Chains A and B, each alone.
Chain A
Amino acid sequence: MKLAYWMYTGPAHIGTLRIASSFKNVHAIMHAPLGDDYFNVMRSMLERERNYTPVTTSVVDRNVLARGSQEKVIDNIIRKDKEEQPDLILLTPTCTSSILQEDLQNFVEQASLNSTADVLLADVNHYRVNELQACDKTLEQIVRFYIEKGKTNFIRENLKTSLPSINLIGISSLGFHNNHDTREFKKLFNDLNIRINCSLPQGTTVKSLTKLPAAWANIVPYRELGVLTSQYLSKQFGLLSLILLPMGNINFNRFVRNLIYNLKVKNNEIKKITNIKLIKLLNLKWIKKESNKTNLKTKKAIIFGSANHVAALTKLLNKEVGLEIILCGTYCKSDSNWFIEQVQNYCTRILVTENHTIISNEISKLKPDIIFGTQMERHIGKRLGIACGVISSPIHIQNFPLSYKPMIGYEGVKTIMDLLFNTLNLKDRKTSFMLFKDTI
């Protein structure tokens, strides 16, 4: 047992549901007690979703506890099959129901005999993996299922698209600025004359997963989601994978160079476009000018969040803006080796923890000028009077902005710069208000 007030990542089933609800026409059925379907509320509220969240519960109540689920789960699966006619029904256990140790796999097999939809059991251990790991696993499970299912009757010829194309893997519902990032990616690939073969899981049908091998490469912007899938595709079809978040100039530059290299395109047109954009982008004068104005050079920052976003942002703030990063950390324990390797040259200290009190203590001890973190760090900052910008989940409704605010690519740099300067200026403005009040 551990005493916990706050957690950075949700339980495993949230991850599974995020994947299920991202796909089109996939329905998830939770084997859970009443009240565990809070995911529907979050998705409806945070994403301001106009459609019903395709998640229902096969309720575990006293009767189930006493006699077992018996036909209940199967009936619920078949009922959903008739009502919604989904392509795939994903049965999801929860922390609670997984202790019951019912043979859910058996239910799935029985139900699939009588349903037109495919039925799968989400293969995640609720006491060993968290939300992000479950996302990754579930996506891989679904992709693997459909690739293997298609193997017998579809293109085993490994036909590539004639024009360079990629799979964009890892865009999901309830992801941090994911929808905006996707738009920015689409613009970027359009500029580079690269087709998006498949963007998953958000907005894709499971039926179209069979065309995944036709792409020339996989793009995985978020390390937390999609690495397993891209590994599977690499193994099966020799697809190259680019696992990099193009956030900030340096990462973006690397991203474009790697992309061109991976796709082995020798198209001058592409290079011309990239070069112009890159020259424009790499002209860091405006950032430097701004930095001088606000004396950014001397500012100290603490960054905390998901491994992926923190690593990218640390490089950006340290190399490009010139902030001193006195501490950077992540709650992604499973990815700590990669994280440490990424940031060790850019910051004074590295912290890997899932305990918000440790970060809170560090922040109050180190007294940075600015914090970049999650909603929790924002509140720590509020308490200590330190400005904070939110750069990673867990997030609130205000982090699902309606306006266009990507974190990646050309536009992303602007968003981050706005965030940086506004956060810092707001603090300065506040102190000048205070002075003003005092003199009067």
Chain B
Amino acid sequence: MNQINNSTLTFQCETGNYHTFCPISCVAWLYQKIEDSFFLVIGTKTCGYFLQNSMGVMIFAEPRYAMAELEEGDISAQINDYEELKRLCTQIKNDRNPSVIVFIGTCTTEIIKMDLEGIAPKLEAEIGIPIVVARANGLDYTFTQGEDTVLASLIQRCPSKDRETEKINKNNSSLFPSLSIFSKNKNESNLSQDKPNLPLVLFGSLPNSLTNQLEHELEKQNIKISGWLPTKNYKELPVIHEGDYVCGVNPYLARTATNLIRRRKCKLISAPFPIGPDGTRAWIEKICSIFNIEPTGLDEREKAVWDSLENYLPLVKGKSVFFMGDNLLELSIARFLIRCGMIVPEIGIPYLHKRYQEAEIKLLEDTCRKMQVPTPLIIEKPDNYEELKRIEQYRPDLVITGMANANPLEARGINTKWSVEFTFAQIHGFSNARDILELVTRSLRRKNYIQQLGWKELVE
């Protein structure tokens, strides 16, 4: 296909006729991450039906999200939007009492031009709960970009003065300071004396165990970050000063990055994303280089991870993998898989922010050169129909795709891996490289058993 050692990647753009999740699906993981939040999706039955079905069993666990279902009267503006939202928010306040309500604007609110940004501050003053507006609609965004819009809106809620010092002042001035809080603060200040917080804020929603792991990795290099966006609680959003450094952990957060640069005057560290041991190492090295720290022990650390993967690597070596594209993680995962010895003919991706992903793109090119494999063709806004034709022609060993195409492809004798799993599985950091390969090799391993049975294609 492409020339080996062709040093630059080829970018193409197709029609954008591809399957993906609606960006409102971000409420599924964000309400779990921000524990005192409530997500109100203002949309139609279509949005509700999608969430209800895509979230699976989560829907039965009294999730902290709801639909504000628009009816015919809302669409034709016979009913006052403000009054309606006020009624619903009051109900939410009484039932759940969250620290923040996030309005998720949808396609419908865009089309009928409902002024959510205008309504929110008024409503916020009236009911006394912060209201954040994120327009995560399918007109503009794809799947994981939903998180991007929410985080971008949360930025302006991040305090710029140090809350910690405020709290201590308050405690001191209070007559009866709570002993536990006092001592805790003391401990914390002791700790931070050991390792002073660097002006570095990481952004991207990850499960708490993962944020701890990544923070720990940085602490080993004597880097203590000053905050993480988003936090476990809305009330603990990180302090962002002008001139702070920020660094993303996920490839789909371009808007958040832009907002941090433009609105909060932060400096973006453009690094590859900490997915796979190679990515994690490059991520840490880049952060270290910004703070003039000589990274230590990364060589051994990375080698140990690769060694631990030795059972998986023979399975993937020399196999080809095709990304149909739907969640913007494609580039990072492809780069890791190429490093594992796989061949990637094509990477479909919904949207590529070349500046935000600059370092990742570079690492991908370097990896291709290092592994002596052809550089993949990168297709933005892919066309599923055309992709399927190319898959049929190329017959890759594995296709990473959405559920809409997975079963039909399997029936045609092509191994698939459901791409959404990469969004929900823990794939960041050194120790989770194994999980990525576990996902990738699952259907390859299954194929080994099944091939003996002789059924390859199951359609006429």
Other 12 A-B pairs with CB < 8 A, given A35-B21, A56-B17: A1-B68, A4-B69, A5-B67, A10-B49, A32-B46, A38-B53, A48-B407, A51-B408, A52-B405, A83-B385, A126-B45, A128-B72
Within 8 A of A (CB), among B110-128: 110-112
Contacts A2-B71, A3-B67, A41-B402 given; indicate if A33 touches B137 (C-beta within 8 A).
yes
- Contact code string B45-70 (vs A, CB < 8 Å = 1, else 0): 11011101110000110010011111
* Complex A-B: 26 CB contacts under 8 Å: A1-B74, A1-B79, A3-B67, A3-B91, A5-B63, A34-B16, A34-B138, A35-B22, A37-B19, A38-B49, A40-B404, A41-B54, A44-B404, A44-B405, A48-B407, A50-B411, A51-B408, A52-B408, A59-B17, A62-B139, A65-B139, A96-B44, A96-B107, A96-B108, A96-B111, A126-B45
Which residue on A lies nearest to B89, using beta carbons? Answer: A3
Contact (Cβ within 8 A) B54 A38: yes
Among candidates A33, A40, A127, residue contacting B138 with C-beta atoms closer than 8 Å = A33
Which residue on A lies nearest to B87, using beta carbons? Answer: A1
Q: Which 10 A-B pairs have the closest CB atoms?
A: A35-B22, A33-B138, A40-B404, A95-B44, A50-B411, A379-B60, A11-B45, A35-B138, A1-B84, A127-B72
* A36 beta carbon closer than 8 Å to chain B: yes
* A94 beta carbon closer than 8 Å to chain B: yes
Residues of B within 8 A of A11 (CB): 44-46, 49
CA separation between A397 and B22, bound complex, in Å?
Answer: 21
Residues of A within 8 A of B28 (CB): none
Residues of A within 8 A of B59 (CB): 5-6
* A318 beta carbon closer than 8 Å to chain B: no
* B103 beta carbon closer than 8 Å to chain A: no
Contact (Cβ within 8 A) A94 B19: no
Contacts A40-B19, A99-B112 given; indicate if A10 touches B45 (C-beta within 8 A).
yes
- Contact code string B388-422 (vs A, CB < 8 Å = 1, else 0): 10000000000000111111100100000000000
Within 8 A of A (CB), among B12-46: 16-17, 19-24, 42, 44-46
* A309 beta carbon closer than 8 Å to chain B: no
Looking at chain B, what size class is its interface with the partner chain? 35 or more
Which residue on B lies nearest to A49, using beta carbons? Answer: B407
Contact (Cβ within 8 A) B406 A99: no
Contact (Cβ within 8 A) B111 A99: yes
Which residue on A lies nearest to B95, using beta carbons? Answer: A3
* A225 beta carbon closer than 8 Å to chain B: no
* B425 beta carbon closer than 8 Å to chain A: no
* B143 beta carbon closer than 8 Å to chain A: yes
Contact (Cβ within 8 A) B385 A35: no
* B320 beta carbon closer than 8 Å to chain A: no
Contact (Cβ within 8 A) B140 A61: yes
CA separation between A269 and B97, bound complex, in Å?
Answer: 70
Within the complex, the shortest CB–CB distance from A254 to chain B, in Å, comes to: 35
Residues of B within 8 A of A61 (CB): 16, 139-140
CA separation between A59 and B111, bound complex, in Å?
Answer: 14
* A13 beta carbon closer than 8 Å to chain B: yes
* B459 beta carbon closer than 8 Å to chain A: yes
Contacts A3-B91, A49-B407, A99-B111 given; indicate if A33 touches B52 (C-beta within 8 A).
no
* B458 beta carbon closer than 8 Å to chain A: yes
Which residue on A lies nearest to B84, using beta carbons? Answer: A1
CA separation between A48 and B410, bound complex, in Å?
Answer: 11
Contact (Cβ within 8 A) A45 B407: yes
CA separation between A97 and B19, bound complex, in Å?
Answer: 18
Within the complex, the shortest CB–CB distance from B61 to chain A, in Å, comes to: 9
* B450 beta carbon closer than 8 Å to chain A: no
Within the complex, the shortest CB–CB distance from B150 to chain A, in Å, comes to: 16
Most chain-A CB neighbours within 10 Å: which of B23, B63, B107, B458? B107
Residues of B within 8 A of A51 (CB): 408, 411, 459
Residues of B within 8 A of A3 (CB): 66-69, 88, 91-92
Within the complex, the shortest CB–CB distance from A245 to chain B, in Å, comes to: 25
- Contact code string A355-375 (vs B, CB < 8 Å = 1, else 0): 000000000000000000000
- Contact code string A365-409 (vs B, CB < 8 Å = 1, else 0): 000000000001001001000000000000000000000000000
Contact (Cβ within 8 A) B75 A99: yes
Within the complex, the shortest CB–CB distance from B386 to chain A, in Å, comes to: 10
Binding site for A on B (CB under 8 A): 16-17, 19-24, 42, 44-46, 48-50, 52-54, 59-60, 63, 66-72, 74-75, 79, 84-85, 87-88, 91-92, 106-108, 110-112, 137-140, 142-143, 385, 388, 402-408, 411, 458-459
- Contact code string A34-73 (vs B, CB < 8 Å = 1, else 0): 1111101110110011111100110111100100000000
* A7 beta carbon closer than 8 Å to chain B: yes
Residues of A within 8 A of B142 (CB): 34-35
* A198 beta carbon closer than 8 Å to chain B: no
CA separation between A44 and B108, bound complex, in Å?
Answer: 27
* A100 beta carbon closer than 8 Å to chain B: yes
Binding site for B on A (CB under 8 A): 1-7, 10-11, 13-14, 32-38, 40-42, 44-45, 48-53, 56-57, 59-62, 65, 76, 83, 94-96, 99-100, 126-128, 130, 376, 379, 382
Contact (Cβ within 8 A) B111 A100: yes
Residues of B within 8 A of A42 (CB): 53
Which residue on A lies nearest to B73, using beta carbons? Answer: A1
Within the complex, the shortest CB–CB distance from A40 to chain B, in Å, comes to: 4
Within the complex, the shortest CB–CB distance from B348 to chain A, in Å, comes to: 14
Residues of A within 8 A of B23 (CB): 35
Most chain-B CB neighbours within 10 Å: which of A3, A5, A96, A382? A96
Within the complex, the shortest CB–CB distance from A62 to chain B, in Å, comes to: 6
CA separation between A263 and B405, bound complex, in Å?
Answer: 45
Contacts A1-B88, A4-B69, A96-B108 given; indicate if A36 touches B46 (C-beta within 8 A).
yes
Contact (Cβ within 8 A) B138 A36: yes
Most chain-B CB neighbours within 10 Å: which of A2, A38, A379? A38
Contacts A1-B71, A11-B45 given; indicate if A60 touches B402 (C-beta within 8 A).
no
Residues of A within 8 A of B44 (CB): 11, 95-96, 126
Contacts A36-B46, A41-B402 given; indicate if A50 touches B84 (C-beta within 8 A).
no
Contact (Cβ within 8 A) B458 A50: yes
Within the complex, the shortest CB–CB distance from A208 to chain B, in Å, comes to: 19
Residues of A within 8 A of B106 (CB): 96
Within the complex, the shortest CB–CB distance from B123 to chain A, in Å, comes to: 13
Among candidates B46, B69, B405, residue contacting A94 with C-beta atoms closer than 8 Å = B46
Within the complex, the shortest CB–CB distance from B371 to chain A, in Å, comes to: 33
Residues of B within 8 A of A100 (CB): 111
Contact (Cβ within 8 A) B16 A41: no
Contacts A34-B22, A36-B138 given; indicate if A95 touches B45 (C-beta within 8 A).
yes
Among candidates A1, A38, A50, residue contacting B22 with C-beta atoms closer than 8 Å = A38
Among candidates B16, B22, B68, residue contacting A59 with C-beta atoms closer than 8 Å = B16
Contacts A38-B53, A51-B408 given; indicate if A57 touches B17 (C-beta within 8 A).
yes
Residues of B within 8 A of A7 (CB): 45, 48-49, 52
CA separation between A397 and B459, bound complex, in Å?
Answer: 22
CA separation between A96 and B50, bound complex, in Å?
Answer: 13
Which residue on B lies nearest to A48, using beta carbons? Answer: B407
Residues of A within 8 A of B87 (CB): 1
CA separation between A94 and B92, bound complex, in Å?
Answer: 28
Contacts A3-B88, A61-B139, A94-B46 given; indicate if A41 touches B68 (C-beta within 8 A).
no
CA separation between A379 and B63, bound complex, in Å?
Answer: 14
Residues of B within 8 A of A32 (CB): 46, 138
Which residue on B lies nearest to A45, using beta carbons? Answer: B403
Contact (Cβ within 8 A) B108 A95: yes
Among candidates B63, B107, B112, B406, residue contacting A60 with C-beta atoms closer than 8 Å = B107
Which residue on B lies nearest to A375, using beta carbons? Answer: B60
